[in-house]
Amino acid sequence: FFTSGSRGVGGVDIVDVVDGVGTLDLGVSTAGVSPYVTAPADFPVITVTVPASNTGEGYIFLTNFSFFPNLAQSKPYLLILDDRAEPVYYERLTPGQPYFDFKSQPDGSLTYWGGSQGGTYFQMDATYTVTDTWRMGNGYTTDQHEFQILPNGHGLLMSYDRQPVDMSQIVAGGVPTATVIGLVIHELDQAKNVVFEWRSWDHFAITDTVAPLTGPVVDYVHGNALSIDRDGQLLLTSRHLDEITKINRQSGEIIWRWGGKRNQFTFADPTHVFSHLHDAQRTPQGTITLFDNRNDLTPAFSRAAEYWLDEDRRLAVLVWEFRNDPDIFSIAMGNVQRLPNLNTVIGWGTSHTHAYAPGDDPPAFMEIRPDGSKALELTFGKGVVSYRAFRLPWAGHATWPPVAGTSRDEAGQAWLHFSWNGETDPVYYRLYAGDGAVPDRVFGIVPKSGFETRYNITSMAQRFCRYRVEAFVPSQPGGHSSNVVVAQTDRCLGGKLFLPLVVRE
C-alpha cells in the first residue's frame, strides 16, 4: 500500500494514508468453496488439481453445465480463466439451459451456442457485446456441436436433420414410422447466404451407422466437429459412424473415409482403432488429433490420440496417445487441441460418468506436455461438465463498472473486496473512503491480482464507513467507479453484522 505523501500510479496523489492503516491481500484461494465476494453466489467451484507449470499461452475457455442427474439443475456460465482457475471473464447465463462451444475465433471475436435444439450461435466483440448471430440457412435448425469462422469471414456450422423413414424396408425389425436423423453442413457468407451445402443423405447410407437401427429414432451420423484441412477441404467427425470424412468443399464429393464400416485406411496396428470419437483436427505438424471416447471398445477408457496418415497409401499410424492414470471414461463429448508450444489440451467431456479415483472429481480441463506429464489440471464438482475445453488467445475490455463488496472474517478483520470482470489489460484500483454518499478520499492504489483483490480496512473503518473503488488502465483515459459499500464493523453497521455485503446479480 501507499504511505502518506506517496504518488501513485498514473500521477495520482495518495492522501490520508497512514502506515499500517490498510493491508493488501494478494492470496489466491483454491479451496472447494468459491472464494469470491464480488461474483454471483452460484459461481461454479473450479479446483486446481495439478498446478500450472510450463503451460501454453492464452486463457482457458469452458462452459459448465449439469449433465447428470439432469440439465434443469444447471447454473451455466461462460468462463475465461487464467492458469490459477481465476476468472478473467464470466457471464452468468439462464439457469437450466445448455450452452456449448465457447471459444475465441481467429478474427478476435467470441462465439458460443445457446438455446435448445434449433438454437443460435452468438458472436461477441472485444467488449463482450453481441454483434452478430449465426443460424443455419434454408430452414434448418442450428446444432450446438460446431461453429467455425473462416479466414474469409464465412461461418461453418451444421444441423441435425430429422426425416421420417420406413426402417422396416431397410433392416429387419426396423420401425415403419421411424425418425432418422441425418446431417446437413452449411457454409454461410457474412450476409448469411448459403454458399455450400452438404447432406449426409446424399453420401452416407443409413446402414453405415454403428448406432442401433431398430428403434423409433435412428441418429445415424451424429456429426460433432468440422474443420478446414490444410488443403482447404473439409474434415467431418461423425460419432455414430466411427468415422472421419474428408469432403471436397467445392463439389461435396467424399475424398476419403477413415474409420467405421466404410473405412478406406489400413491401421498399422489393428488394435489402434477409435470408437465414438470427437473433434478430429489437423495439426500444424500434419498429423490428426482426436478425442477417442471408445464407447464400443474394451476396456472402457477414453483417450487423446494422434495419428499420422499416408493419404496416398491409405495408411494410418498411431504416433501418440494420452491415457490417464487412473483411466477416465467419457461416455460423450470431449476434444483435443494441440498448442503452439506442442502441449496438448484435453477436454474430457462427460468424464464424471466413470470412476476417476475414490473421492475425486474427474478433470474438465487437462494440459499435457509432449513427454506425457501434466502441465495443468482443473475440475468442476461432480455432475458438472464442459462440452469442450480450449486454451486460446484473447484480449477483452470491460465497459461496465467494477464491483466492490465487504466482509468480516472470524478474527474480526474488516475487508474491502473488488473485481473488474472481463478486462485483460493491466488494471489498477484507486481505493476511496468517506462518510458521504460518494466516498472521495483516496487511501490507496493497488494492482489487480487475480480476479478479486481484497484490502484490509479494519483500521481505516475506525474513521470511515463507506467505500468504493475506481478501476483504471494506466494506458487509457478515465476510470470506472464501483458501487458504494459499507465496512462490516460494529461501528459502521450499528451493531448489525451482514455477510458479505455486495450488490449481486
Residues of the chain scoring pLDDT < 70: 1-34, 68-71, 116-117, 352-360, 495-505
Residue 391: CB atoms within 10 Å: 24
| CA angle centred on 171, ends 165 and 172, rounded to 5° | 120
Q: What is the 3-state secondary structure (H, E, C) of 141-162?
A: CCCCCCEEECCCCCEEEEEEEE
Residue-level length of the chain: 505
Residue spans per domain, the chain: 9-28+401-502
* Neighbouring residues of 494: CB distance < 8 A, sequence distance ≥ 6: none
Residue 118: CB atoms within 10 Å: 14
Nearest Cα residue to 81 out of 416, 503, 379: 379
Confidence (pTM): 0.91
Task: Tell me the Ramachandran region of residue 314: left when phi exceeds 0, alpha when psi lies from -120 to 50, beta otherwise.
Answer: left
User: C-alpha dihedral over 490, 493, 496, 499, to 10 degrees?
Assistant: -100
Q: Which pLDDT belongs to residue 382?
A: 76
Q: Which pLDDT belongs to residue 500?
A: 53
Q: Which pLDDT belongs to residue 4?
A: 24
Burial (CB < 10 A; 0-12, 13-18, 19+), residue 443, is: buried
Q: Which pLDDT belongs to residue 495?
A: 61
Q: Which pLDDT belongs to residue 362?
A: 78
What fold does the segment set 9-28+401-502 form as a domain?
Immunoglobulin-like (2.60.40)
Q: Which pLDDT belongs to residue 353?
A: 45
Residue 453: CB atoms within 10 Å: 23
What is the distance between the terminal CA atoms of the chain, rounded to a whole angstrom? 30
Q: The cell 467488449 sits on which residue?
A: 127
User: From residue 262, how far is each of 48, 298, 311, 410 by CA, in Å?
Assistant: 42, 21, 16, 66
* Pairing of the two strands 480-481 and 485-486: unpaired
Per residue in 365-386, pLDDT (tens digit) is 999 999 999 999 999 877 788 9
Q: Which pLDDT belongs to residue 498?
A: 53
